[in-house]
Amino acid sequence: MSAAMIDGKAHAAALRAQVAAAGARFREELGRPAGLAVVLVGDDAASGVYVASKARATLEAGMESFTHRLPASATQAEVLELLASLNQNEAVDGILVQLPLPAQIDETAVIDAIHPDKDVDGFHVLNAGRLAIGQNGLVPCTPLGCLMLLRACRGSLAGLRAVVVGRSNIVGKPMARLLLAQDCTVTVAHSRTRDLQSVVHDADILVVAIGRPLSIPGAWIKPGATVIDVGINRIDDPTGSGKSRLVGDVDFDSAALVAGAITPVPGGVGPMTIAVLLRNTVVAARRRAGLSPDAMLSV
């Protein structure tokens, strides 16, 4: 068996086109574009690249982009002051603080300082609680992107056995809750799970987000399963060239021989994360304005 490739780039491009159309309708109704503010603290090179790509994608979608850069020496009080001003800014519908933050800043306090209605990352405790009990809230971008790929690939997920490997607040836990809402039977596995191989082998749907390169081999995967690999890890090229390459948490080469469908790394989940961020921004803008949901952006 050779797995079908789940093309995250193509799905993300389609979603971004829907977001742009929804953003244009919002502008017509409100007389202003939806706005996304991104806060970067410090000079981490990778974070700088991510922030620039988000700003570019926001403008391409017809929305307004606000980028705020603070030095690595910034105090927590300075970050909280900036967030307070963004919470009050009516041109800003979504706020994202690029992680990780410098050591002197409490990440939880920063996330809690973002108004839940502008929390387009979906990390605020109020949005996490809404997701847990099935209420409308803003959902973390990566898990929601994974769900979109799964539904595009398999249609109804009801009754399927899903295994999520990883229990972070960013991916693992919200992913499990989204799958439960789709009527899957869900198991969350993690570093303390006994006999992980047998747990993984039961999965019709396997979502892996543990940050360990190539840790799930194809021999563990149920034939025909749909595999969503959230991991992105840089490792040395085994040819000894001195170069590095990006791999996922799943051993793609062996898994692709067994799975029914699988996301590549890169080009799978990653593009969906930014597309869903843009989607969340328009959703937040409409909710804040008291407008009805845009059917094009429903999940």
Catalytic residue set: 54, 98, 121
> Is 53 one of the annotated binding-site residues?
no
Tokens 């800014």 sit at which residue?
89
Distance of CA 254 to the CA centre of its chain: 25
Q: How far is CA 82 from CA 30, 49, 112, 113, 249, in A?
A: 25, 21, 13, 10, 36
Q: Are 41 and 102 in contact (CB under 8 A)?
A: yes
Strand bridging mode 244-247 / 233-236: antiparallel
Separation of alpha carbons 202 and 204, rounded Å: 7
> Is 167 one of the annotated binding-site residues?
yes
Tokens 């960013």 sit at which residue?
170
Separation of alpha carbons 255 and 116, rounded Å: 39
Separation of alpha carbons 138 and 89, rounded Å: 19
Residue type, 125: V
> Is 161 one of the annotated binding-site residues?
no
Closest alpha carbon to 218 in 255, 243, 249: 255
Separation of alpha carbons 68 and 178, rounded Å: 32
> Is 198 one of the annotated binding-site residues?
no
C-alpha triplet 264, 268, 270: angle, nearest 5°: 130
DSSP for residue 218: G
Separation of alpha carbons 163 and 171, rounded Å: 13
Binding-site residues from annotation: 166-168, 232
Binding-site residues from annotation for NADP(+): 166-168, 232
